[in-house]
Chain A
Amino acid sequence: MKFGIVRFPGSCDEVDAQLAASRVGQAELLWHGDRDLRGVDAVIVPGGFSYGDYLRVGAIARFSPVMESVIEFARGGGPVLGICNGFQVLCEAGLLPGALLPTAGLRFVCRQVDCVVEDAGTPFTRDTAPGDVLSIPVKHTTGRYHRPPDGDVRVVLRYAPGHNPNGSEDDIAAIASEAGNVFGLMPHPEHAVDPLTGSADGLKIFSSLAAVPA
């Protein structure tokens, strides 16, 4: 499994994502100005502040050259993982339903949260079971998930009771596209891959993906 991690101007978690993916496969960075996805098997859109988050989070990044290819890759069934800002970009790009709003408390939140697996049937959660609790950190200002008007969303992770850090509707922490190949989450699994930093639960997201036949 070869992972490609997108680097936008303003990305800041692409190297951690690359290191996390490297634990379970090969991983290289993809530049935002290139359309070539270099034959990767999975794309990660990482956290950070793409294009300065100007106008609206994810709004400008969504139109970058690399995203044109990522959208095409996703529509063809390729697995795409969006973390934090990457989740916001995938929503803006229409690859995932809904939108992300400023935290209900308006503050930047940075803490370890428990997330409960609701759907272990996606390519991103096959190394988990429904009901498993994953301890993964969040760090964001704009992460309150808002459902689309028809409310139809494939929920993959929910914040455990008392752990919702941002006022997300129905404690939604992660969603997938209907087909399951596009996955977005506000918690940062790439920051939870080594017990030394508190939890290795995030690695399950990467190992799940690595087990997907390329």
Chain B
Amino acid sequence: MRARVLVRPKAGILDPQGKAVERALPALGFDGVQNVHVGRLIELDVEDPGQLEAMCEKLLANPLIEDFEIQTS
């Protein structure tokens, strides 16, 4: 099964990458942009999607500083 894992900086933790993007967009004329956060996308084929949660907690994300979201289709 194809799965996607979205990993984001936890709310409340300063996300300097998001801030940098947020500042860069208006400089290019794109106004009205707020709350930008930069995370990462991990795509993987898995035989047992039931293991995804454990994979995220153990390796793919650091739950102390990141939230993750698992998408399967």
Which residue numbers of A lie inside 8 Å of B, CB to CB?
55-56, 59, 63, 92, 98-99, 101-106, 144, 146, 148-149, 167
Bound-complex Cα distance A144 to B14 (A): 10
Q: What is the interface of chain A mostly: helix, strand, loop, or mixed?
A: loop
Query: Chain B: how many interface residues by the 8 Å CB criterion?
Result: 10
Among residues of B, the one whose C-beta sits closest to the C-beta of A103 is B16
* Contact between B65 and A55, CB atoms less than 8 A apart: no
Among residues of B, the one whose C-beta sits closest to the C-beta of A97 is B64
Task: Indicate which residue in A56, A98, A102 contacts B17 across the interface (CB closer than 8 Å).
Answer: A102
Task: Indicate which residue in A92, A102, A104, A144 contacts B62 across the interface (CB closer than 8 Å).
Answer: A92
Among residues of B, the one whose C-beta sits closest to the C-beta of A57 is B62
The interface bits of chain B over 1-29 (1 if a CB of A lies within 8 angstroms of the residue's CB, else 0) are 00000000000011011001000000000
Among residues of A, the one whose C-beta sits closest to the C-beta of B20 is A106
Cβ contacts A to B, 21 pairs, < 8 Å: A55-B59, A55-B60, A59-B59, A59-B62, A63-B59, A98-B64, A99-B64, A101-B13, A102-B16, A102-B17, A103-B16, A104-B16, A105-B16, A106-B16, A106-B17, A106-B20, A144-B14, A146-B64, A146-B65, A148-B64, A167-B14
Q: Point out the residues of chain B lying under 8 angstroms from A103, CB to CB.
A: 16
Q: Point out the residues of chain B lying under 8 angstroms from A167, CB to CB.
A: 14
Given contacts A55-B59, A63-B59, contact A101 B14 (CB under 8 A): yes
Q: Point out the residues of chain A lying under 8 angstroms from B17, CB to CB.
A: 102, 106
Bound-complex Cα distance A121 to B59 (A): 34
Shortest distance from the beta carbon of A48 to any chain B beta carbon, whole Å:
19
Shortest distance from the beta carbon of A188 to any chain B beta carbon, whole Å:
22
* Interface contacts beyond A99-B65, A146-B64: sample of 20 additional A-B pairs, CB < 8 Å, sorted by A: A55-B59, A55-B60, A56-B62, A59-B59, A59-B62, A63-B59, A99-B62, A99-B64, A101-B13, A101-B65, A103-B16, A104-B14, A104-B16, A105-B16, A106-B20, A144-B14, A146-B65, A148-B64, A149-B64, A167-B14
